[in-house]
Amino acid sequence: MTFAQAYVFAVLAATLGLFIWGRWRYDVVALLALLAVVVAGIVPAGEAFVGFGHPAVITVAAVLVISRALQNSGVIGGLAKWLEAVDAGPSVQVAAVAGLVGALSAFMNNVGALALLLPVVLQTAKRTGRAPAELMMPLAFGSLLGGLVTMIGTPPNIIVANFRADAAGEPFAMFDFTPVGLAIAVAGIGFMAAYGWRLIPVRDTGGQADGMFEIDAYITEVLVPAKSGLSRVPIADLLAAAGDGEVRAVALIRRGKRHLHPRPDQGLRINDHLLLEGGAEGIERILHDTPLKLVGNRDLDPETLGSDGSAVIEAVVTPGSRLIRRTVAQAWLERRYGLHLLALAREGRPIREHLRKVRVRAGDVMLLQGDAETLPDQLAAIGCLPLVTRDLALHREPTMVPLIIFGLAVALGVSGLLSLPVAFTGAVVALYLFFDMSSSEIYTGVDWPIIVLLGAMVPVGAAMEASGANVLLVDGIAALSAGLPAWGVVAVILIAAMVLSDVMNNAATAILMSQLSIQVAERLAVSADPLLMAVAVGASCAFLTPIGHQSNVLVMGPGGYKFGDYWRLGLPLEAVIAAVAVPMILWVWPL
């Protein structure tokens, strides 16, 4: 083994370790890997950023924007409403939830499809009295299964399709994935509906269908009594008794009128009522050190706290949120976004600690208060998804324009008149011109960490070939596969991609495994198509851990799941998928 080969293997091992660790975001890890191979001279400096012009990167960016437009069109949102009418046993509900999200994910970003249905599914669980845990995991897994059906259903399919051009001279077409992907999706959703939902842990302390927060546990109502000496005392001076920033005034009630977020310098009056938010210790200190009197909370709920133009909403923190690993104070929620954190839950359990000191994690559920009109935009700005549907949808009349533009782009791409990257880029321009989609919506519609990851990992993959490290891996895989039948070779590639996708980003898995599969096919003198199709399936089947895919993380809080819950359904589901995928791949794409 040469120094260059050992160096590349060390970089890949470190990259994989950082992906698993999760301390740094995957796009940062990918950039570090890129810099490592460029500094070592394995990838020329002039070719360091050629990955950002790769057709797969352009296609993924365009598809994400189109997906956002479809989500905002109002048409698909209306289609999701039929879930509310499904009132049957758990098997039927699981089939309906996973089937609908799977159908949407075949033609739009799977995270976008999940985000669209997440509030609806929670409302369905509340209406039927079912624990959200029974539906959240099928919702996430159904979004991944649906993405297998078409080329644009998930980034790994787009990546594999473009790498196929290196092996066969042309990429996979839009619906080349459909025979295999549709069979897998039907089998996977059928398994979850028939039996799999029984394997999902449902805890009494997990996410509840009627909301996981009891407002009374976080908001305390106190009275300014007569002869207390507190008349005209600023609220800030009063709260200082609890310690710096440990207790906040959520609202001031004076003569029956509620004033939200009173100014710190506002003076108190006799018979004022204050709604205080803070930990038990801070509230206890205020009651001990001041003449304030504790009174019974009166009908404290999101509707009460959301009066006077304000709204209270539960929202889940997405993996790309700027809040992750920051405290509320560090994120400047109140000063920069006008949002007030009332409560926080993790793995379905409300956190009772001092909220301003807790570091936020992906999948946390936050109870936030803010201006009703700007709340949707502020949630998007901080990277959170609302868990209720009321008053938070974009106020845009339903229109078929995005569907028509998307259909024309697909038709032009499938017919061969335009390449899919060009067709979808043209669709983005058309959405700007004819759908009144603003430039800010276009840029916010792109998941930039994914784009950076793809652009950085393409040259890292090329470094394997430049150093010859790929030859060692190919030799090992070829030796392992030499005595195996055709189905064994496909199974090895499929399982390897599945294992990697459970611990690292599926797009990175697709890049690395696609390059290896092409070279393994050349070494074994077989067609690369079935191996690439196995990579596409395996890279999108991240069912064992919550970190394998964004969809899995997003349902962790609302479902009340723990890290080790996913494999209970995920492992048998992956076995079902492997049993269906291998023969289907060899039937449609023979070696």
d(CA 553, CA 531): 29
Cα gap 134→198, rounded to integer Å: 8
Q: What is the dihedral of CA 369, 375, 379, 385, to 10 degrees?
A: 90
Using CB atoms within 10 A of its CB, is residue 87 exposed (0-12), middle (13-18) or buried (19+)? exposed
Mean pLDDT over all residues of the chain? 85
Q: What sections of 257-305 are H helices per DSSP? A: 280-289, 302-305
Burial 317-330 (b: 16+ CB within 10 A, else e): bbbbbebbeeebee
pLDDT digits (tens, 9 = 90+) for 514-561: 988 998 888 888 899 999 999 999 999 999 988 778 899 889 888 888
Q: What pLDDT, on a 0 to 100 scale, did the predictor assign at position 435?
A: 86
What letter would DSSP give residue 504?
Answer: S
Rounded to whole angstroms, the Cα distance separating 21 from 195 reads: 33
Would you state the structure tokens that stand for residue 401, as one six-digit string?
A: 């324009």
Q: Domain coordinates of the chain in residue numbers?
A: 55-206+407-449+463-588, 225-291, 308-386
Task: Please report the pLDDT score of residue 352 as a whole number.
Answer: 62
What is the rounded average pLDDT of the residues 176-205?
92
Fold of the domain built from segment(s) 308-386? Alpha-Beta Plaits (3.30.70)
pLDDT of residue 345: 83
**What's the pTM?**
0.81
Q: Do the domains at 225-291 and 308-386 have one common CATH topology?
A: yes
- Please state, in angstroms and rounded to a whole number, the distance separating the CA atoms of residues 144 and 337: 33
pLDDT for residue 394 is more than 50: no
- Domain 225-291 matching CATH 3.30.70.1450: the answer reads yes
Cβ atoms within 10 A of the Cβ of 493, count? 26
> Tokens 């909220």 label which residue?
355
**pLDDT tens readout for residues 8-58:** 999 989 988 888 777 788 889 999 999 999 999 999 999 999 999 989 899
pLDDT value at residue 395: 45
